[in-house]
Amino acid sequence: MNLIDKENRQTENNNHSTRLSDNIEVRKIPILIAMITYSVLLFGNSTDSNSFAIVVMSTVVYFITIYLFYGIASLAYYKNTYLLWGSAICAVVLGCMLSGSNNILELLLSWSSILFAGVITGKMNINSHKQLKVYIYGGVAVIVFSLLLMYPIWSELITVAKENSQMMIEEFRKNLTTIGYSSEAISDNILVFQKMLAVFTRLLPSTMILGILLQFSVGYLLFLLMLDRKDPVYQRIIPFSYWKVPFSVTPIVIVSIIIRLIGGEQLKIIADNILTILSVYYCLTGLSVVEYYLKKLNISRFMKIMFYILLFFTQLVGYFVIVLLGFIDSFADWRKVHSKEIIGMK
């Protein structure tokens, strides 16, 4: 009887694997089309100077990138190795033909960021690694290749940002004068506006990195949702109320703060950008802690919405409070995440 049960379970597992393979067959073609489209749109050297067309193309490329993080992870997970790398080579070669030899490095680094992050996350999920570990490995791949891609042009981008800032300040001054502000009020508002623009320019690298990490994060979550839907026995996405930044990140925060206090100007800029990126993740942890206790207190959905709206209006003050809450929870572990050994949080 046990032997029969074992054979039935084996047959069921084989049928399940077959269904998964059949389902992924349907999704191969859109992924391949997205890979080709990415190379065409990003490296096609379009001469269209229409601002609306540029915005539309940039938006399409943005969402295609998210889909590629999802799609490449899917191909890697289902072991479509030849199809994955064959299609990637075709897309890269097409990009080289369209962009010419001058943009080969940009082409290779852009594709490497997507390919390596996707393959890492897909392959590591085959072996059922903790999701936090998988996300960190994939995120590091994205950051490394993005830094290599963006570092040569950051100085140019910062220069352009400063020039645009001056234009925006002058335009802002004209608008305040037209409205009828006094000279003193105009000076005060211009000073605040200048400080805001200076902070934005200083944190431009972290803003760009966070933008790419957001694409990777959304693509990876879509990939995990797909896996959880097809294989609900092993839940990969944990509830938001248990998200947590690991304590092992704390030394990076401490070192960055020390550099910020005693380092030179360039080192301070680097430290500011690192702290900005980490603050976003600590903010998510802080919001996760808040959500955990709101659920524990059985707060109604309407009251939750009102609470988050009020939190939004606190702006920077609320942001820093939530970040601090998330940072403290990384070692205080108020929710006992480690002791519960929740998937992805250990």
Confidence at residue 14, expressed as pLDDT on a 0 to 100 scale = 44
pLDDT of 102 strictly over 90: no
Domain limits, the chain:
238-346
- What confidence tens digit (pLDDT) does each residue in 194-217 have? 888 888 888 888 999 999 999 999
89 token code pair = 């080579």
CA atoms lying within 13 Å on the CB side of residue 214: 11
Predicted confidence (pLDDT) at residue 322 exceeds the cutoff of 60? yes
pLDDT for res 213: 95
Confidence bin at 50 (pLDDT 50/70/90): low
How confident is the model over 259-294, as pLDDT tens digits?
A: 999 888 889 989 999 999 999 999 999 999 999 999
- Rounded Cα distance between 220 and 226, Å, is 10
> What does the H/E/C string look like for the chain?
CHHHHHHHHHHHHHHHHHHHHHHHHHHHHHHHHHHHHHHHHHHCCCCCCCHHHHHHHHHHHHHHHHHHHHHHHHHHHCCCHHHHHHHHHHHHHHHHHHHCHHHHHHHHHHHHHHHHHHHHHHHHHHCCCCHHHHHHHHHHHHHHHHHHHHHHHHHHHHHHHHHHHHHHHHHHHHHHHHHCCCHHHHHHHHHHHHHHHHHHHHCHHHHHHHHHHHHHHHHHHHHHHHHHHHCCCCCCCCCHHHCCCCHHHHHHHHHHHHHHHHCCHHHHHHHHHHHHHHHHHHHHHHHHHHHHHHHHCCCCHHHHHHHHHHHHHCHHHHHHHHHHHHHHHHHHCCCCHHHHCCCCCC
User: Mean pLDDT throughout 306-311?
Assistant: 89
Quickly state the pLDDT bin for 338 (edges 50, 70, 90).
low
User: Is the predicted pLDDT of residue 239 greater than 70, yes or no?
Assistant: yes
pLDDT over 80 (residue 2): no
Q: Please, what is the average pLDDT of the chain?
A: 82
Confidence of residue 316 (pLDDT cuts 50, 70, 90): confident
pLDDT of amino acid 339: 46
Produce one character per residue of 209-230: b if its CB has 16 or more CB atoms within 10 Å, e if not.
bbebbebbbbbbbbbbebbeee
298-302 average pLDDT score: 87
Q: Which of these ranges, 84-93, 106-115, 154-163, 296-305, has the smallest mean pLDDT?
A: 154-163
| pLDDT at residue 299, rounded to an integer | 86
In residues, how long is the chain? 346
CB 236 within 8 A of CB 344: yes
Task: For residue range 155-194, list pLDDT tens digits in order.
Answer: 777 777 777 777 888 787 787 777 777 778 778 778 887 8
Q: What is the pLDDT of residue 21?
A: 47
Q: Residue 47: pLDDT band by 50, 70, 90 thresholds?
A: low
Distance CA 252, CA 249 (A): 6
CA angle 321, 327, 331 (to 5 degrees): 140
pLDDT value of position 312: 85
| pLDDT at residue 257, rounded to an integer | 93
pLDDT band at residue 25 under the 50/70/90 scheme: very low
Q: Looking at residues 221-225, what average pLDDT do you find?
A: 93
Is pTM beyond 0.85 here? no
The sign of the torsion formed by the CA atoms of 146, 147, 151, 152 equals negative
Determine the pLDDT at residue 179.
78
Q: Which residue has the tokens 């391949």?
A: 32
